[in-house]
């Protein structure tokens, strides 16, 4: 018992609340309307009866709700009038039940109120009496005494009250008259009374017309033919054991179930004493639901019983003998209700979408109903426990579905709520109604990048509009609140021309290089990218992007020494007494690239006398390969190739002139081939004088040019900008160090200046200084500051 009390505490509370609300609900009022009233007809002014101003009906969203969920009437919110929405058929709505009552409620919101009303549908005389059979046959014994009574089949009239059948008449009435009697349920049925004895020999058959008239104005009537067959003497009619049978049967009884067995006996013998059973009149509902065995009197179910449609049946059974005499009994069948109807749930209002972070919100207002009676019609409502919603009882049989608190769309954007309505019958039946609630988005999440920083690698000399990479940000919101727009933020370094370097696609975050990048000018740069959603207000975040420019082999080696500026070729003097390995000269070259693209190698392509000279591949030193002899030519021309280690490799060539002399005191002036031929024909003394004069003049001119160049370069260092781009300080020693034996046995450094406006990018040696960095290297190594100092890109 205690467990049963604990099981339904909530139910008792809900029932108690219903009782309290029922006491505060408006009193039930009744209206009346005649059936078949035209649509739009006035019934009553609900605003006046409720006591409200007409404008309050619209503001409080007044609605009319019928228990059968049909819209028989409509409420005019502008006038407060209750109008007929469709023609009403009382016989269809209530059948034989009188009075015909329709229950409806007027629902008001803000605040919620319910007013109950009762509508009486009055009957009009729109149906005439109809006999179940157009012809009735009576067999009457000729020895029947006057005053004998013969029951006739009554006419059926769908109308009720005075509009139903009120009296019967028969004509011609030379032998009979008819009496109108009242049945147990108020129905009137005819009884034929014999006034005058019959004589089969004179008149074996009589044809009478039975007329049934109702009490309407004007009255309606129906007729049936009564055929009387006069029989020979059979003076005992069948008699039932009891005139009235009362039985109860469950509404879920299957077809074939026995309802009752009626019994009648006839004192006659033979054919006159054999009894046959039949329904007294062939009512369509009765013959569709029950069957009667004509020999045994067993009544069985052949159709489906429904307590909610028909509560009881009254069946008249006739017992006839073989000679045509009959008797009648009445069987009243009471249908017992079982729990065979599931509860019904009707949603009055529904909000399918609510914004997240909202406080307690009403989602739905609904009513419940169970057509069953007693405990079978009591109901309990519930929802599942894993949703942040709750049910709150309202007035009458209404419930509200409300949220328990604010909802978070990012945690869960959709809720499927199952409302379960269970009755208290045995077995318990339930109805489930699913409601889907969508949580609409509020812009409460900023976009988040997949990485806090991005590193992109771009090969230099890229094509404009190159797709360098992408940044990506996601927003947990939805719709416009999750649509992310990307943009470039102003760099912290104002000297970085970001707008001319990079652009970003605002829709997908793709980054593009606007122009070709040069590793020698800009090796890397950083900037910030912003991601902003389209919410109101908009939220944003940012990420750092670093672009690393990769070096490409786009700079060919540049030869610093010997000079290749189109002036008189540089000639190296080598004594004929030089040993093998004697250092003739050193080719000095640089490469504006970095890494392996700047690794230089040297190669001797062509020589006047192959095998006499060799070049070291890694440092560019040109040395003698063997002892010199008198037979070797005095002048030699060497073509050397300087090649970097890039892919594909780039190269530059340089020509070196070598003059073999017996000693460094021997003067030399290179002659053109034509001049050499002319000199060979002149006196040798004249040739020597010319050579000496040219040497002195050249030396003087070279000294003047060197002095002027040094002065200009020093002035440029003192503060002149845009002058000769001479790198500050000496060249690093490891770039152009030359070591060895012979005439260039010491280490040298060369200061050079690129002539402004020179299309050939010529270098002019200004002076040589003793190296302050000891040691030598095998070649020219990467030095980006050296290259940038010369303005190489």
Whether the per-residue pLDDT at 73 is higher than 90: the answer is no
How is residue 158 written in tokens?
């769908």
CA distance 641 to 557: 10
Cis peptide leading into residue 737 (ω within 30°): no
Long-range contacts of 400-405 (CB under 8 A, 24+ apart): 400/362, 400/364, 400/365, 401/362, 401/363, 401/364, 401/365, 401/366, 401/435, 402/360, 402/361, 402/362, 402/363, 403/354, 403/358, 403/360, 403/361, 403/363, 404/360, 405/359, 405/360
Helix (H) or strand (E) holding 192: strand 188-194
Residue 260 backbone phi and psi in degrees, to 5: -160, 160
pLDDT at position 502:
93
Query: Closest by alpha carbon to 280, among 252, 334, 243?
Result: 243
Torsion sign over Cα 198, 201, 202, 204 = positive
How is residue 685 written in tokens?
């003394």
CA distance 131 to 776: 137
Number of H helices, E strands in the chain: 11, 51
**Mean pLDDT for the stretch of residues 130-155:** 88
Whether the per-residue pLDDT at 310 is higher than 80: the answer is yes
Q: Looking at mean pLDDT, say which of 154-158, 316-320, 762-766 comes out highest.
A: 316-320
Whether the per-residue pLDDT at 18 is higher than 50: the answer is no
Whether the per-residue pLDDT at 613 is higher than 50: the answer is yes
Higher pLDDT, 652 or 20: 652
Query: Closest by alpha carbon to 570, among 383, 380, 765, 431?
Result: 765
CA distance 159 to 219: 12
Strand order in the sheet with 502-504: 466-470, 510-513, 502-504
Provide the β-strand partners of residue 80.
none
Three-state secondary-structure class, residue 94: helix
DSSP string covering 346-386: EEEEE--EEETT--S-EEEEEEEE-SS-GGGG-EEEEE-SS
Whether the per-residue pLDDT at 519 is higher than 70: the answer is yes
pLDDT at position 28:
52
Whether the per-residue pLDDT at 395 is higher than 80: the answer is yes
Whether the per-residue pLDDT at 740 is higher than 80: the answer is no
- Within a 10 A sphere around the Cβ of 474, how many other Cβ atoms? 13
CA distance 299 to 597: 113
pLDDT band at 716 (very low <50, low <70, confident <90, very high): low
pLDDT band at 24 (very low <50, low <70, confident <90, very high): very low
**Mean pLDDT for the stretch of residues 595-601:** 87
pLDDT tens digits along 273-298: 889 999 988 788 899 999 999 999 99
Higher pLDDT, 317 or 79: 317
Q: Which of 3-7, 230-234, 299-303, 305-309 has the lowest average pLDDT?
A: 3-7
Mean pLDDT in the chain? 79
DSSP string covering 465-495: TEEEEE--EE-SS-GGGG-EEEEEPPPSSTT
CB-based contact 455:430 (threshold 8 Å): no
Task: Specify the DSSP class assigned to residue 156.
Answer: B
Provide the β-strand partners of residue 763.
754
Whether the per-residue pLDDT at 429 is higher than 50: the answer is yes
Whether the per-residue pLDDT at 731 is higher than 60: the answer is no
pLDDT at position 232:
67
Whether the per-residue pLDDT at 64 is higher than 70: the answer is yes
CB-based contact 255:301 (threshold 8 Å): yes
How is residue 671 written in tokens?
């002659």
Provide the β-strand partners of residue 641.
603, 653
Higher pLDDT, 139 or 765: 139
Q: Looking at mean pLDDT, say which of 24-28, 380-384, 724-728 comes out highest.
A: 380-384
Query: Closest by alpha carbon to 313, among 291, 332, 329, 290?
Result: 332
pLDDT at position 454:
94
DSSP helix, strand, coil percent of the chain (3-state; round to 5):
15, 40, 45
pLDDT tens digits along 483-507: 999 999 888 778 888 888 899 999 9
E strands within 404-522? 414-423, 430-440, 448-449, 453-459, 466-470, 473-474, 484-488, 502-504, 510-513
Q: Which of 67-76, 628-637, 678-687 has the lowest average pLDDT?
A: 678-687
pLDDT band at 6 (very low <50, low <70, confident <90, very high): very low
CA distance 359 to 349: 19
pLDDT band at 457 (very low <50, low <70, confident <90, very high): very high
Residue 503 backbone phi and psi in degrees, to 5: -135, 160
pTM over 0.85: no
pLDDT tens digits along 263-276: 999 887 778 788 99
pLDDT at position 60:
84
């Amino acid at each position: 018992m205690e467990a049963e009390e604990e099981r339904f505490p909530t139910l008792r509370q809900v029932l108690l609340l219903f009782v309290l609300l029922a006491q505060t609900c408006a009193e039930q009022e009744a209206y009346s309307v005649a059936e078949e009233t035209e649509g739009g007809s006035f019934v009553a002014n609900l605003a006046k009866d409720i006591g409200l101003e007409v404008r309050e009906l619209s503001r409080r969203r007044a609605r009319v709700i019928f228990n059968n969920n049909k819209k028989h009437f409509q409420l005019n919110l502008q006038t407060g009038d209750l109008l007929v929405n469709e023609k009403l058929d009382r016989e269809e709505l209530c059948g034989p039940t009188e009075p015909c009552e329709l229950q409806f409620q007027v629902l008001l919101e803000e605040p919620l109120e319910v007013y109950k009303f009762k509508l009486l549908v009055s009957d009009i005389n729109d149906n005439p009496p109809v006999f179940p059979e157009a012809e009735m046959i009576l067999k009457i014994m000729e020895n029947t005494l006057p005053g004998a009574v013969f029951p006739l089949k009554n006419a059926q009239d769908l109308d009720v009250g005075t509009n139903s059948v009120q009296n019967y008449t028969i004509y011609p009435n030379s032998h009979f008259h008819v009496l109108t009697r009242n049945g147990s349920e108020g129905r009137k049925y005819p009884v034929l009374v014999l006034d005058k004895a019959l004589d089969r020999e004179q008149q074996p058959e009589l044809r009478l017309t039975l007329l049934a008239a109702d009490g309407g104005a004007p009255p309606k009537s129906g007729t049936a033919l009564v055929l009387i067959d006069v029989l020979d003497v059979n003076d005992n009619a069948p008699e039932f054991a009891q005139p009235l049978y009362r039985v109860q049967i469950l509404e879920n009884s299957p077809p074939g179930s026995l309802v009752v067995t009626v019994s009648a006996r006839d004192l006659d013998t033979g054919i006159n004493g054999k009894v046959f059973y039949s329904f007294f009149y062939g009512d369509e509902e009765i013959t569709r639901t029950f069957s009667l065995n004509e020999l045994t009197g067993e009544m069985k179910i052949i159709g489906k019983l429904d307590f909610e449609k028909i509560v009881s049946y009254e069946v008249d059974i006739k017992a006839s003998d073989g000679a045509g005499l009959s008797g009648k009994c009445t069987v009243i069948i009471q249908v017992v209700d079982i729990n065979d109807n599931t509860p019904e749930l009707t949603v009055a209002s529904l909000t399918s979408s609510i914004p997240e972070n909202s406080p307690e919100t009403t989602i739905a207002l609904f009513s419940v109903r169970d057509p069953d009676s007693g405990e079978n019609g009591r109901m309990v409502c519930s929802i599942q426990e894993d949703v942040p919603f709750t049910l709150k009882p309202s007035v009458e049989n209404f419930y509200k579905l409300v949220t328990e608190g604010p909802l978070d769309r990012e945690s869960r954007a959709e809720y499927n709520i199952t409302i379960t309505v269970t009755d208290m019958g045995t077995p318990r039946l339930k109805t489930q109604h699913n409601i889907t609630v969508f949580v609409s988005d509020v812009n409460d999440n900023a976009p988040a990048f997949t990485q806090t920083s991005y590193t992109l690698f771009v090969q230099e000399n890229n094509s404009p509009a190159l797709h360098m990479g992408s940044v990506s940000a996601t927003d947990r919101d939805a719709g416009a609140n999750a649509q992310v727009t990307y943009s470039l933020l102003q760099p912290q370094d104002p000297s970085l021309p970001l707008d001319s370097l990079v652009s970003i696609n605002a829709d997908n975050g793709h980054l593009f290089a606007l122009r070709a990048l040069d590793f020698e000018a800009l090796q890397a740069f950083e900037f910030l990218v912003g991601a902003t959603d389209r919410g109101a207000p908009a939220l944003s975040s940012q990420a750092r992007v670093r672009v690393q420019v990769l070096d490409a082999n786009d700079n060919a080696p540049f030869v610093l020494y010997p000079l290749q500026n189109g002036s008189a070729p540089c000639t190296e003097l080598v004594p004929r007494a030089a040993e093998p390995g004697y250092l003739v000269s050193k080719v000095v070259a640089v490469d504006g690239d970095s890494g392996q693209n700047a690794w230089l190698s040297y190669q001797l392509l062509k020589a006047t006398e192959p095998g006499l000279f060799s070049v070291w591949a890694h440092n560019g030193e040109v040395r003698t390969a063997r002892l010199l002899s008198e037979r070797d030519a005095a002048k030699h021309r060497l073509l050397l190739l300087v090649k970097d280690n890039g892919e594909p490799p780039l190269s530059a060539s340089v020509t070196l002139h070598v003059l073999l002399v017996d000693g460094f005191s021997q003067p030399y002036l290179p002659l053109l081939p034509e001049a050499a031929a002319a000199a060979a024909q002149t006196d040798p003394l004249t040739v020597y004088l010319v050579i000496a004069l040219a040497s002195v003049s050249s030396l003087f001119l070279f000294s003047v040019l060197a002095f002027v160049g040094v002065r200009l370069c020093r002035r440029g260092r003192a503060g002149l900008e845009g002058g000769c781009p001479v790198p500050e300080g000496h060249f690093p020693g490891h770039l152009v160090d030359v070591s060895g034996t012979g005439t260039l046995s010491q280490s040298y450094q060369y200061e050079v200046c690129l002539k402004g406006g020179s299309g050939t990018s010529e270098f002019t040696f200004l002076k040589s200084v003793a190296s302050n960095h000891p040691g030598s290297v095998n070649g020219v190594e990467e030095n980006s500051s050296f290259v940038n100092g010369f303005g190489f890109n």
